């Protein structure tokens, strides 16, 4: 169960501020997220299961009435919302129109319930952000499917989850229904998310059992009025787990097994969304086990779902130790199958070609498939960026990917345009985010990590919104609209992704972690290529560092990108500095554009990351009076841990690489606080998926 406690120290701090004449905001445990107001329904404490009267229009009225009752807006004289008498094709299934007249009359209309609800949330957002002005607003979501991927397991654990246990209490369902389920649905609907995959892509076959489908039904019933469909990750070997001799997708008995299973699912959940599939990757079963292709496996499932309107999201995250370059394998496996997938299959592609690294080039697969639906998969949970200990606002990284031009059909063929269906004749468009949500009181483990959940929803609705606008919206709704607070904290959060890259793996370095935890540095681990370990990626040696993916001497991964990108990345003189060591292996004394040697540039990059992380503490301390004691204290502790971890990263990376470069650390960089042997010993104690406890991490002193 969640606990909400306020420490004696926080109470004392509040007394001190009152005595100094500064009125602190009331303590806030973060559970209300950015929805810092009550709807009319919130007061009832009921959960909408089996209530046929619940629909988007009714919820929209509850939200408007609840907000405007407690937060009257002088410009608004009356409001109403509902369905259009005649459907407007411009608005589609989820779009809305808001008419706000000079007289103060608000009219929200849409073709369907979901659009009315999204319109109400948008109008409330305008009110809260003080952006209300007379006129007509029409909005339609860019992506048809805007989906969260939960990596939650039936036993309550969450793979890559850093915010407690799973939100879904499978052992209690269907009997016990927690209020968090409807709170979750409300939060998602408020930012336009319309689907959720409930379970881990490393799927447990039990999730498709009759027992678990009854549990899933309860969640589907709660989510439905909020316009949210449920999806399930499946284990491709499920037929074998249920008595068949094979799971071959071309076997008639297997085909019939899946048809029967899909029919069973839709008899229980009539609006079930479909399946997410991880196959033939990281040991998961798939069609290649039987000599079949990804298309064979995906199409067998798609055919079973087609009569019910369901879709298959087939992940392109594949790799094997036999590939000379893991970054190339997705294109190698999926490009030959282009045009062979059913129209209700969509290939789900990670933003980068390796694995959610702090910085990667966009996956070249986005620019290769022309006859196949494709979607982007982003990671909201911070697997490689400090878990829930580090403050990293991720939208700038996601937008960097979506705005990247693939040049597939000439200039303007951006990842966003391709996945939205603007370049090819896509049947469906979608975007997915691996969620950072758990059962912690504040949902995300770090109060500021809530911004990434919010940002994903806003981006999925409209990928053209800037990082600045999204973080400004979120801060105003979650904390305060005080300008001094906003200017300081927005700047801090907007700088956080670049800081994370700088203190972890700058200049195109990647996957310098080790062990299953992916928390701290371990560049010394793993000598053999099949292990996919740090030394495979950075290839540090006496002659230099970096992965050679050039056309002349490397793996020729550059050729998976269209011109002019292929030549841009291939030439060390034109390759962007931020991706230099992703595509090139260079000597330690290579002269950078800045005039520094590569070695010195690395040292300075790590140093800049430390300074930024240390500065985040100063920034946060400067806005203390605007933040309640509870959140202020918890965020401050996290920022201190982040700054110390930044030093850990710098020390480990530089001391290890120095054993090859033999070069001195620049005099204007701060000296390491631990030896390389000490850091190796710390790293060896971190091996599992959980965030390591503080007592197994190196302790550092933060100097002013």
H helix or E strand, kind and range, residue 431: strand 430-434
HSE of 7 in the Cβ direction (CA atoms, 13 Å)?
A: 9
Query: What is the C-alpha to C-alpha distance for residues 495 and 395, in angstroms, rounded to an integer?
Result: 11
CA distance 358 to 390: 13
CA atoms within 13 A on the CB side of 116: 23
Q: What is the DSSP letter of 601?
A: H
Structure tokens at 128: 């809260």
Residue 251 has pLDDT above 90, yes or no: yes
Helix (H) or strand (E) segment spanning residue 114: helix 113-128
Classify residue 340 by its DSSP letter. -
Contacts of 75 (CB under 8 A, 6+ apart): 104, 132
Query: Checking DSSP bridges between strand 105-110 and strand 145-149, what pairing results, if any?
Result: unpaired
Q: Of these residues, 383, 439, 472, 525, which one is catalytic?
A: 383
* pLDDT at position 530: 58
Instruction: Provide the mean pLDDT of the chain.
Output: 93
- Please confirm, yes or no, whether 105 is among the known catalytic residues: no
pLDDT in tens, 546-575: 999 999 999 999 999 999 999 999 999 999
Predicted confidence at residue 42, as pLDDT, reads 65
CA 380/CA 81 separation, integer angstroms: 33
Tokens of 89: 């094709």
Q: Which residue has the tokens 């597939």?
A: 408
Question: Which residue from 338, 272, 339, 277 is spatially nearest to 305, judged by alpha carbons?
Answer: 272
Cβ(435)–Cβ(375) below 8 Å: no
Confidence at residue 596, expressed as pLDDT on a 0 to 100 scale: 98
Say which residues have a Cβ less than 8 Å from residue 357's Cβ, sequence separation at least 6.
384, 505, 510, 511
DSSP string, 624-666: GGGS-HHHHHHHHHHHHHHHHHHHHHHHHHHHHHHHHH-PPPP
Phi, psi at 635, each rounded to 5°: -70, -40
**pLDDT > 90: percent of the chain:** 88
Please name the fold of domain 17-139: Chitobiase; domain 2 (3.30.379)
d(CA 250, CA 281): 20
Question: Which residue spans of the chain are classified as CATH 3.30.379?
Answer: 17-139
User: Is residue 36 a contact partner of residue 205, using CB atoms and an 8 Å limit?
Assistant: no
- Give the separation between CA 610 and CA 503, rounded to whole angstroms: 6
Q: Which of 52-66, 351-365, 562-576 has the lowest mean pLDDT?
A: 52-66
Give SS3 for 329.
helix
Write down the pLDDT at residue 527: 64
CA 362 to chain centroid, in Å, comes to: 15
- Tokens 């758990």 locate to 438
Taking the C-alpha atoms of residue 596 and residue 507, their distance in angstroms, rounded to an integer, is 13
Dist CA 525 CA 535 (whole Å): 6
Q: What is the pLDDT of residue 22?
A: 54
Task: State the number of CA atoms in the 13 A half-sphere of 586 facing the CB.
Answer: 25
Reply yes or no: is the peptide bond before residue 153 cis, omega within 30 of 0: no
Task: Specify the 3-state DSSP secondary structure of 84.
Answer: coil
Catalytic (active site) residue 70: no
Q: What is the pLDDT of residue 321?
A: 65
Q: What pLDDT, on the 0 to 100 scale, is given for residue 516?
A: 80
Selected catalytic residue, list 131, 138, 253, 282 = 282
- At 531 the pLDDT is 60
The predicted structure's pLDDT at residue 23: 84
Strand partners, 99: 107, 136
Q: Is 12 exposed, middle or buried (0-12, 13-18, 19+ CB in 10 A)?
A: exposed
Q: Would you say 484 and 657 are in contact if contact means Cβ atoms under 8 Å apart? A: no
DSSP state of 337: G
What is the mean predicted confidence (pLDDT) over 190-201?
98
Please, are residues 580 and 586 in contact by the beta-carbon 8 Å criterion?
yes
pLDDT at 689: 77
- Work out the burial of residue 224: count CB atoms within 10 Å of its CB; fewer than 13 is exposed, 13-18 middle, 19 or more buried: buried
Give residue 634's pLDDT band: very low, low, confident or very high (50, 70, 90).
very high
Distance separating alpha carbons of residues 386 and 515, to the nearest angstrom: 14
Outline which parts of the chain fall under CATH 3.90.1330.10: 501-545+587-696
Confidence category of residue 47, pLDDT binned at 50, 70, 90: low
pLDDT at 323: 76
Residue, of 19 and 56, whose pLDDT is higher:
56
CATH number for the domain formed by residue range(s) 145-466: 3.20.20.80
Residue 559, number of CB atoms within 10 A of its CB: 16
For β-strands 135-139 and 96-100, DSSP reports them as antiparallel
Strands 145-149 and 430-434: parallel
Percent residues over pLDDT 70 in the chain: 94
* Residue length of the chain: 704
Q: Over the stretch 659-678, which tens digit does the pLDDT of each residue have?
A: 999 999 999 999 999 999 99
Strand 96-100 relative to strand 373-379, pairing = unpaired
Q: Is the peptide bond before 703 cis (omega within 30 degrees of 0)?
A: no
Hey, how many other C-beta atoms are within 10 angstroms of the C-beta on 49?
Answer: 17
Model confidence band, residue 703 (pLDDT cutoffs 50, 70, 90): confident
Q: How far apart are CA 457 and CA 450, in angstroms?
A: 11
Give catalytic status of residue 383 as yes or no: yes
Q: Which residue has the higher pLDDT, 323 or 125?
A: 125
Q: Is 227 helix (H, G, I), strand (E, B) or coil?
A: coil
Tokens 């059992």, residue?
209
Would you state the pLDDT for residue 2? Answer: 40
The single residue of 113, 221, 355, 490 carrying the catalytic annotation is: 355
Tens digit of each residue's pLDDT (9 = 90 or more) over 452-507: 999 999 999 999 999 999 999 999 999 999 999 999 999 999 999 999 999 999 99
Ranges of beta strands (E only) in 101-207 are 105-110, 135-139, 145-149, 195-197
Q: Is the dihedral of CA 456, 458, 462, 468 positive or negative?
A: negative
Note the pLDDT of residue 263. 98
Domain limits, CATH 3.20.20.80, in the chain: 145-466
- Fold of the domain spanning 501-545+587-696: Alpha-d-glucuronidase, C-terminal Domain (3.90.1330)
Of the candidates 446, 463, 518, the one whose C-alpha atom is nearest the C-alpha of residue 690 is 518
Confidence of residue 7 (pLDDT cuts 50, 70, 90): very low
Q: Is 496 helix (H, G, I), strand (E, B) or coil?
A: helix
Looking at residue 38, its pLDDT comes to 86
């Amino acid at each position: 169960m969640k606990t909400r406690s306020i420490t004696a120290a926080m109470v004392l701090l509040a007394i001190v501020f009152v005595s100094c004449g500064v009125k602190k905001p009331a303590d806030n445990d973060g559970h209300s997220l950015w929805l810092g107001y009550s709807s009319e329904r919130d007061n009832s404490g009921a959960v909408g299961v089996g209530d046929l009267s619940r629909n988007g229009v009714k919820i929209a009225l509850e939200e408007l009435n609840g907000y405007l009752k407690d937060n009257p807006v002088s410009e608004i004289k009356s409001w109403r919302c509902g369905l259009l008498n005649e459907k407007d094709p411009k608005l589609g299934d989820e779009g809305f129109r808001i008419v706000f007249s000079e007289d103060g009359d608000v009219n929200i209309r849409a073709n369907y319930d979901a659009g009315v609800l999204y319109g109400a949330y948008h109008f409330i957002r305008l009110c809260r952000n003080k952006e209300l002005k007379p006129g007509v607003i029409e909005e339609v979501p860019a992506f048809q499917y805007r989906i969260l991927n939960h990596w939650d397991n039936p036993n309550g654990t969450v793979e890559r989850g850093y915010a407690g246990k799973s939100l879904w209490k499978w052992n209690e369902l269907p009997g016990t229904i927690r209020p968090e389920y409807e709170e979750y649905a409300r939060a998602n609907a408020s930012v336009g998310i319309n689907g959720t995959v409930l379970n881990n892509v490393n799927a447990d076959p039990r999730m498709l059992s009759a027992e678990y489908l009854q549990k899933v039904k309860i969640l589907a019933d709660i989510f439905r009025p909020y316009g949210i469909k449920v999806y399930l990750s499946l284990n491709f070997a499920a037929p074998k787990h249920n008595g068949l001799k094979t799971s071959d997708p071309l076997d008639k008995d297997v085909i019939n097994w899946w048809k029967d299973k899909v029919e069973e699912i839709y008899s229980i959940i009539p609006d079930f969304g479909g399946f997410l599939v991880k196959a033939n990757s990281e040991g998961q079963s798939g069609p290649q086990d039987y000599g079949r292709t990804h298309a064979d496996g995906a199409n067998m499932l798609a055919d079973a779902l087609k009569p019910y309107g369901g879709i298959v999201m087939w992940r392109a995250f594949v790799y094997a130790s036999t590939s000379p370059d893991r970054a190339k394998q997705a294109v190698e496996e999926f490009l030959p199958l282009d045009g062979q997938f059913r129209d209700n299959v969509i290939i789900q592609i990670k933003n980068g070609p390796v694995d959610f690294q702090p910085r990667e080039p966009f996956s070249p697969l986005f620019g290769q498939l022309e006859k196949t639906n494709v979607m982007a998969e982003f990671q909201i949970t911070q697997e490689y960026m400090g878990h829930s200990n580090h403050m990293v606002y991720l939208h700038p990284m996601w937008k960097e990917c979506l705005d990247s031009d693939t040049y597939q059909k000439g200039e303007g063929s951006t990842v966003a345009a391709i996945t939205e269906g603007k370049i090819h004749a896509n049947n469906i468009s979608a975007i997915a985010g691996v969620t950072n949500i758990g059962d912690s009181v504040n949902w995300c483990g770090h109060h500021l990590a809530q911004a990434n959940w919010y940002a994903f929803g806003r981006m999925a609705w409209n990928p053209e919104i800037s990082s600045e606008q999204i973080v400004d919206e979120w801060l105003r709704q979650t904390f305060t609209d005080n300008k001094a607070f906003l200017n300081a904290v927005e700047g801090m959060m907007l700088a956080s992704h670049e800081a994370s890259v700088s203190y972890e793996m700058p200049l195109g370095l990647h996957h310098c972690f080790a062990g299953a935890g992916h928390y701290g540095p371990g560049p010394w681990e793993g000598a053999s290529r099949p292990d996919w370990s740090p030394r495979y990626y950075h290839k540090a040696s006496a002659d230099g560092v970096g992965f050679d993916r050039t056309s002349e001497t490397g793996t020729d991964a550059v050729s998976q990108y269209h011109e002019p990108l292929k030549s841009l990345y291939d030439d060390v003189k034109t390759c962007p500095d931020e991706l230099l060591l992703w595509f090139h292996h260079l000597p330690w004394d290579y002269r950078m554009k800045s005039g520094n040697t590569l070695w010195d540039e690395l040292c300075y990059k790590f140093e800049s990351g430390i300074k930024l992380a240390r500065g985040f503490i100063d920034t946060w301390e400067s806005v203390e009076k605007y933040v309640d004691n509870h959140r202020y204290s918890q965020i401050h502790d996290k920022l201190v841990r982040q700054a110390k971890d930044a030093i850990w990263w710098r020390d480990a990376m530089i001391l290890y690489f120095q054993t090859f470069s033999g070069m001195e650390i620049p005099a204007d960089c701060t000296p390491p606080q631990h030896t390389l042997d000490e850091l190796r010993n710390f790293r060896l104690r971190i091996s599992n998926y959980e965030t390591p406890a503080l007592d197994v991490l190196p302790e550092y002193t933060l100097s002013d």
